[in-house]
Structure 1
Amino acid sequence: MDELLETLEIARSLSMKGCPYDNAVAEATYKIMKTEFVNQMNFQSLRHLELKLYDYVNGFNKHRIHGTLGYMTPVQYRQEALKKVV
């Protein structure tokens, strides 16, 4: 797989192969989306799904605080982290 990625000039977006932590974060995120979003809705069309998904992700990132992020939203957390780098 690594050779194929190199051939296509694609960089891995997460850490190296076999790192269980990346998978755990992804699985936790999918579980939240399923229980809070997918299982609570009936979508009338693909466009309806797109609009509702956009609203959900926007709210999740900009308005919902997360305990693991020091009770900040993901957007706030990123902004604070960037301030420390600069």
Structure 2
Amino acid sequence: AAAFRDRLVALGLQQSAAQRGPEDNAHIESFFHSLKAEVIHGTRFETEIALRRELSGYVRYYNHQRLHSALGYQSPVDYESCAA
């Protein structure tokens, strides 16, 4: 986690997360665990633009395509559209 924060600082980025309740934090922790495991670890980004592009693509994938066991193996977008 410290290396990740250091890299963000080196790129001039600021990490932030909303301070809510413990139940909200579990979802954020899960997201960042997946992000680090699936994108960050072992990847060297040559430029800030490359990092931003990869993060943007991952967030899109995470919300629209990635299946989540906690949501009955649906993407968050599909889950929300069924719940509405």
With structure 1 as the length reference, what TM-score do the two structures score? 0.67
Partner of 1:57: 59
C-alpha displacement at 1:14, in angstroms?
7.3
Counterpart of 1:8? none
Report runs of 4+ in structure 1 exceeding 2 Å deviation.
none
**Which of the pair has the greater relative contact order for Cα pairs under 8 Å at 6+ separation?**
2
Aligned-residue offset at 1:52: 0.8
Q: Which one has the largest radius of gyration?
A: 1
CA drift of 1:50 comes to: 0.9
Question: Deviations for 1:50-76, whole angstroms, at most 9, x for unmatched residues?
Answer: 111111111111111111111111110
Aligned residues: 67
1:43 maps to what in 2?
Answer: 45
Within 2, Cα distance between the matches of 1:40 and 1:61?
A: 23
Matched, 1:78 2:80: yes
CA RMSD of aligned residues (A): 1.8
2:26 corresponds to which of 24, 27, 45: 24
Letter in 2 for 1:67: S
Segments of 5+ residues of structure 1 without an aligned counterpart are 1-12
